[in-house]
Amino acid sequence: MSDKNPYEDRGLNAGSVLNQLEAIDADREVKQEMRRMSRRSFIWAGIAAVGVYEFVGWLASRHEDLGTPWPFRRALDANEDLAMDYFGPKRLAPTFSKSDLTLEDVDGQVGIRSNGAYGIDDDPDFDPKAWTLTVNNVFGKDKPVQLTMEDLKKLPSTTQITEMFCIEGWSIKVEWKGIRFVDFAEKYPPNPRVFEKADGSDKPAVRSKPQNLVRFVSMKTPNEAYYVGLDMASALHPQTLLCYEMNGAPLTDDHGAPLRLAIPVKYGVKNLKRIGSITYTDEKPADYWAEQGYDWYAGM
Amino acid sequence: MAHLTEDSESGSKRQVAGRLYLEKKHPLAIRWFHWINFPLIAIMIWSGVLIYWANGVYRLGSISLFPDWFYHPGYQEKPPEAGLYDLTGRLAEGMSWHFMLMWFFTINGILYVLYTALSGEWRYILPNRSTLKEAIHVILHDLHLRKDHPPRQKFNGAQKLAYTGVIIMGFGSLITGIAIYKPVQASFFTQLMGGYTVARFLHFWLMILFVLFFLVHILQVMRAGWNNFRSMVTGYEIVAEEESV
């Protein structure tokens, strides 16, 4: 603002004093109007600020549902519903070439980064030679099915280089070799909710009518210390493997020998190492990390 | 005494005889978008840091982003659990907040852009041919390197660049966010950005840019003074006749 009297240029004629008074009056009125509007606006702003602050506190202090306040669990579940809806069973994870493999220094040797040994290093009595895979709730079987590695290797094998995403925020590209879970599930089908035969077979239609099957798959380590839950669509995804080789070599202990899950459509936490049992179920299975406040779905 | 009359086109209120008048500066919708965005983006950044902590690998030269003291100041004196600002070991919590509020951040942003486009407000913030020159003038003036004042307008050149830039940043955060949230279902975005690692890197640096924007914004609001700040709450600014454009 300039220092000169703003009313000076209105002149000092007979009416000027009256004009000045009128102008001062008018400006006072403008200021009053501003004050009136400010009061109203700032009261609202104050109420809104306190409201937001209180609401955030309220959200964070709700009772927990699987390790997170229930509003967050509801939000994660809503995201899950949406993700399951747009999940494309034929939409594939990008695949890479051998030159893209992520090789790191692991204890002085070139290897594959390993993270998490729940169900492995807490199970010193595990005997790999005596290992069998237990499959529960197989169609037409009253008892759990026990399978050896030999049984499994009768199924066709697949090799793929895909990226595994750790929930911590890093990723590695690995060559996985194993059996497609969908092939496995066709051989040892889940109990269906609605029974409809596959063409030329007495078994449920796993590939063509997956919606008829029970909705989930649970996998656990032999000592049941680590466990994951999967939705059927992700389990039956063509890139989901029961894996026994990584980067061309048999699985090592810390990567889950003798058999692990490789599921590129999920975070690393779902890629269970050392599978002891597979259970088909229609109830949403327990999941180790979901119980600690993480998203159950964990889909990529 | 005559009363204030409201101009139906500009929304300004004036008293014919006086010198001061109330200039309508920010429409109600813009003020809502702005103030809703403030807590949203604050919590998005905070929860993003909780997530980033789990794999805090970025560096700026020899400086680690972020050092231990950043995550829990005063941790040497007391265990991290006791700290008010302990940001460690809260990955699940960070993801919960981030993946809930991302919807509101996105919706608010889309509504803001739509409103700005449809109402014509875009004219005030979209840079034009003279914007860069004006912006340099503003910056030099603000750094006391140039005396003469830049021409007065609703938003000066520097503001235009900053406000347009921050919309682009928001859009960038959205698509890099999608790229790291669903790198398989949305692999198109992830590949477009050069992969998961690159997308995460960009997402992080966009967050840093938001923080820098925020700091400059606060500084400039403080410099501009109360009348200007008040207009973001009330919508009006008191203007003297001769100063108006």
Which chain A residues contact residue B51 at CB under 8 A? Answer: 169
A157 min Cα distance to partner chain B (Å): 23
Q: Which alpha helices (DSSP H) does A3-15 contain, by range?
A: none
Report the chain A residue with the minimal C-alpha distance to residue B89.
Answer: A168
Contacts of A83 (CB under 8 A, 6+ apart): A297, A299, B182, B185
Measured distance CA(B71)–CA(B53) in Å, rounded: 8
Dihedral sign from CA coordinates of A120, A123, A125, A130 = negative
Give residue-wise pLDDT tens across range B144-189.
Answer: 888 888 877 788 888 888 899 999 999 999 999 999 999 999 999 9
In B58-195 the beta strands, taken as DSSP E runs, fall at 59-60, 63-64
Contact list in A for residue B20 (CB cut-off 8 A) is: 26-27, 30-31
Which of chain A's residues have a Cβ under 8 Å away from the Cβ of B52?
169
Q: Which of A27, A41, A72 sits opposite B20 (nearest CB)?
A: A27
Do B55 and A169 count as a contact with CB atoms less than 8 A apart?
yes
B232: nearest CA in chain A? A41
Residue A25 has pLDDT above 90, yes or no: no
Residue of B1, B197, B234, B236 to mutate, interface with A, max A Cβ within 10 Å: B234
- A27/B14 CB distance under 8 A: no
Strand partners, A65: A68
Q: According to DSSP H, which parts of chain A are helical?
A: 16-60, 70-86, 149-152, 181-187, 232-235
Residue A5 scores a pLDDT above 60: no
CB pairs under 8 A between A and B: 143
pLDDT: which is higher, A175 or B71: A175
Provide, rounded to the nearest whole percent, the portion of chain B with pLDDT above 70. 93
Cβ–Cβ gap B184/A93 under 8 Å: yes
CB proximity under 8 Å: A 233-272 to B: 264-265
| pLDDT above 50 for A2 | no
Q: Give the pLDDT score at B147.
A: 86
Determine, for residues A37 and B234 on separate chains, whether the beta-carbon distance falls below 8 Å: yes
- The answer to whether A84 contacts chain B (CB < 8 Å) is no
Backbone angles phi, psi at A179, to 5 degrees: -105, 135
Nearest to B234 among A41, A75, A165 (CB): A41
- In chain B, what are the domain boundaries? 5-62+89-243
Distance (Å, rounded) from C-alpha A294 to C-alpha A164? 18
The predicted pLDDT at position B77 comes to 65
pTM: 0.89
* CA A163/CA A93 separation, integer angstroms: 8
Q: Comparing C-alpha atoms, which of B82, B92, B99 is closest to residue B50?
A: B92
**pLDDT tier at B245 (50, 70, 90 boundaries)?**
very low
Instruction: Give the start-end residues of each E strand in A81-170.
Output: 104-106, 109-111, 133-136, 145-147, 157-165
* CA max distance for chain B: 69
Question: What's the CA gap between A92 and A161, in Å, rounded?
Answer: 12
Q: What is the pLDDT of residue A59?
A: 93
Which residues of chain B from 84 to 113 reach within 8 Å of chain A, CB to CB?
91-93, 95-97, 99-100
What pLDDT score was predicted for residue B132?
86
Is the minimum CB–CB distance between A149 and chain B shorter than 8 Å? no
Contact A192, A259 (CB under 8 A): no
* B184 reaches A (C-beta below 8 A): yes
Beta carbons of B185 and A86 less than 8 Å apart: yes
The torsion angles phi and psi of B131, rounded to 5 degrees, stand at -60, -45
What's chain B's length in residues?
245
Cross-chain CB nearest to A34 (options B18, B191, B238): B238
| Nearest residue, CB atoms, B13 vs list A24, A33, A86 | A33
Cβ distance B238 to A31 less than 8 Å, yes or no, reads: yes
Minimal Cα–Cα distance from B164 to chain A, Å?
Answer: 26
pLDDT tens digits for range A210-251:
999 999 999 999 999 999 999 999 999 999 999 999 999 999
Which chain B residue has the Cα nearest residue A86? Answer: B185
Q: Across residues B209-228, what is the average pLDDT?
A: 94
Bridge-based pairing state of the strands A227-231 and A157-165 = unpaired
Q: Which residues of B132-160 are buried (b: 16+ CB within 10 A; e: fewer)?
A: eebbebbbebeeeeeeeebeeeebbbbbb
- Using CA coordinates, name the residue in chain A closest to B13: A30
Q: Does A45 contact B at CB distance below 8 Å? A: yes
Residue A98 has pLDDT above 90, yes or no: yes
Whether B84 shows a pLDDT value over 70: the answer reads no
User: CA–CA distance from A127 to each of A132, A153, A257 (Å)?
Assistant: 10, 20, 11
CATH 1.20.950.20 correct for B5-62+89-243: yes
Q: Which residue of A has its CA nearest to B229?
A: A38
Query: In angstroms, what separates the C-alpha of B130 from chain A's closest C-alpha?
Result: 26
Chain A residues touching B239 at Cβ < 8 A: none
A246 contacts A255 by C-beta, under 8 angstroms: yes
> Which pLDDT does position A12 carry in this prediction?
53
Among candidate residues B3, B78, B20, the one with its CA nearest the CA of residue B243: B20
Relative orientation angle of helices B226-234 and B28-52, to the nearest 10 degrees: 100
Mean pLDDT of B14-19: 77
Residue B75: exposure state from Cβ atoms within 10 A (0-12, 13-18, ≥19): middle
Phi, psi at A5, each rounded to 5°: -60, 115
Q: Which residues of chain B are within 8 Å of residue A26 when distances are taken between CB atoms?
A: 2, 15-20
Which chain B residue lies closest to A300 (C-alpha atoms)?
A: B182
- The string of pLDDT tens digits covering residues B234-244 is 999 998 876 44
- Rounded to a whole number, what is the distance in Å from the CA of B132 to chain A's nearest CA? 27
Q: Is A56 on the interface with B (CB under 8 A)?
A: yes
Least confident of A13-27, A115-129, A263-277, B194-208: A13-27
Interface membership of B194 toward A (CB under 8 Å):
no
Give the nearest chain A residue to B200 (CA atoms).
A169
pLDDT computed for residue B10 by the predictor: 80
Tokens of A223: 């000592």
Q: How far is CA A229 from CA A218, A219, A256, A284, in A?
A: 5, 7, 17, 7
Query: Is A71-292 a CATH 3.40.50.720 domain?
Result: no
Structure token pair of residue A146: 């026990």
Whole-number Cα distances in Å, A168 to A217, A292, B80, B243: 24, 14, 20, 55
**B17·A167 Cβ contact <8 A:** no
- Separation in Å, CA A19 to CA A2, A8, A9, A278, B46: 20, 11, 12, 92, 57
